Structure formats: C-alpha cells, structure tokens
Chains A and B, each alone.
Chain A
C-alpha cells in the first residue's frame, strides 16, 4: 500500500475517537439535566462542573482530530 493511502486511512481511523467523546458528552448532558431537574436552585454550580466535564471529555476527540490533521497535511 502506498504511504499516502495508508495515511488517509489512518486519518479516518483517528477521527473515530469522536465516538467516545460523543458518548461522554451525552452522558454528562443527561446527568446535568437530571441534576438541574432535581435541584433547580443549584443550576449555577452544576453547569459550572458540566462545562469542565465536557471540556475534558471533548479533549479526546480533539486529539483524534489533531492526529488526523497531522496525517493529512504531513
């Protein structure tokens, strides 16, 4: 296989890391909605830790994206 086509396949595989981030952000959002529904008065604190959580969950997808970009534009 040529190196260029191998790099293209690798870039596609690297972007699969988005699956985990999607699941993680989905769980975080669902739990946040539940928590706010239970205690609406604590919504400020809850959404603060929600933002932090999705930032950390999203990081894996971003690493995948960066790896894919490095493979595409070597």
Chain B
C-alpha cells in the first residue's frame, strides 16, 4: 500500500451500520461511535468521581473538585462574573474535546505485518463533529444575549454602532462558528495526516517523538483554544 492510499484510508469516514427508523436511513459512522465512547467514558468517570462525596475528598473527588473550581473561576474571570451559569457547559466542552483528542493515542497501531483488530481514529477529523460543537457554542451565545438583553436588545445589537453595519454583524454569526469548526478540524486532521506520513516513512523512531507534539500537545492546545474562544463569544454576548 503506497503513501497516498494510506492517507486516503486514514481520513475516510466509514459507515459502520445504518439505523432504519420511520422510513429514514440514518448512517452511523465510526466518528459517531467514537464520540459515544468518549461520552460514555466521561459520564462513567464523572459518576465514579462524585459517587460518594465526602468532606475529606478522595483522589477522584479532589480531581473533580479542582476541575470544577478551575472552570468556574476561569469563566467568571473572563465574563466579569456574569457568566457563572455557563461554566458547566464550557467545562464539558473542554473535557469532551480533550478526551476526543487524546482517545486515539490509546488506539492499537499496526505495522511490521501486524494488523490490529480495531483502531480508534481521531473523531475530530470529521468536520461534522466540530461543526456540531461550534453550532452549539453559537446557539448558546445567542441564547445568552437573548436572556441578558431580551429580543429588543438582541435586534439592537445587530445594528450596533450604525445601521449599515447590519450585514457585517449578521456575517459574524456565520463566520464565528465556521472558524471555530475549521480550526479544530484542520488542526487535528493535519496532525493526523502528518502522523500517518511519519508512520509510513520511519515507523520505528519518528512516530513516538512527533506524537508527543501532534497527539498530546496539539490536542490539549486546541481544546484550550476552543474553550477560550467560546468563553469570549459568550462573554461578549453578556456585555
């Protein structure tokens, strides 16, 4: 198998099975299944960490408490104390993207004539996953603006400095989710392709070294950037 075939096989999204409901065929792709795995993992860990809450926290509870208080203080700091209600949403977003970006590192790798039974490919290589996250963020920020300043204030914010700014303000609602989705998608897909190339060219030494950057560091950085930009969009809606 040559290099370009490997890359195409790596970035293609397979339909694993199809659900037939009420005359509709709903294809379930491998990225959907991977996101189910991430969701199950997060729910399970959150349940284990908060099962028996005690005043003197155990290890899991201490970690959960640190994460929750970090999310709260981060969101409050960036929204001038107005956005406390959005801390759970933004924290969940961050944890989901971190888990989604780090999960493929656990995948078994082939090579030297060995073919693993299953592989976990990064689910953020599917633009549908990142677009869904970005649309959720923009929906929440529109809802935040509506709740903060009402329908009248929302409409007034569209013509904010001058009435002729209306098309630009409307365009912002399309550009922001597009740039959020494309940033995460492009970064993770680019890193994934580079990792495939490295595994093809020099499977012995190169992948672990490059993987430190492209799998661990870049995955964490992109999760931070995504959550940070979402916080800023919501903070702007709350002004």
A52 interface residue per 8 A CB criterion? yes
Q: Is the interface of A mostly helix, strand, loop or mixed?
A: helix
Chain A interface (Cβ < 8 Å from any Cβ of B): 48, 51-52, 55, 58-59, 62-63, 65-66, 69, 73
Number of interface residues of B (CB under 8 A): 16
Neighbour of B224 across the interface among A51, A65, A73, CB < 8 A: A51
Chain B interface (Cβ < 8 Å from any Cβ of A): 8, 11, 179, 182-183, 185-187, 189-190, 221, 224-225, 228-229, 232
Given contacts A59-B179, A73-B11, contact A66 B185 (CB under 8 A): yes
A51–B223 CA distance with the chains assembled, in angstroms: 12
B126 to chain A, nearest CB (A): 13
Q: Which residues of A contact B182 (CB under 8 A)?
A: 59, 62-63, 66
A51–B179 CA distance with the chains assembled, in angstroms: 16
Could you say which of B11, B186, B187 has the most chain A C-beta atoms within 10 Å of its C-beta?
A: B186
Given contacts A65-B190, A69-B189, contact A55 B183 (CB under 8 A): yes
B79 to chain A, nearest CB (A): 14
6 contacts between A and B (CB under 8 A): A55-B183, A55-B228, A55-B229, A62-B182, A69-B11, A69-B189
> Would you call A66 and B8 a contact (CB within 8 A)?
no
Q: Which residue of B lies closest to A61 (CB)?
A: B186
Neighbour of B186 across the interface among A48, A52, A63, CB < 8 A: A63
Q: Which residues of B contact A52 (CB under 8 A)?
A: 225, 228-229, 232
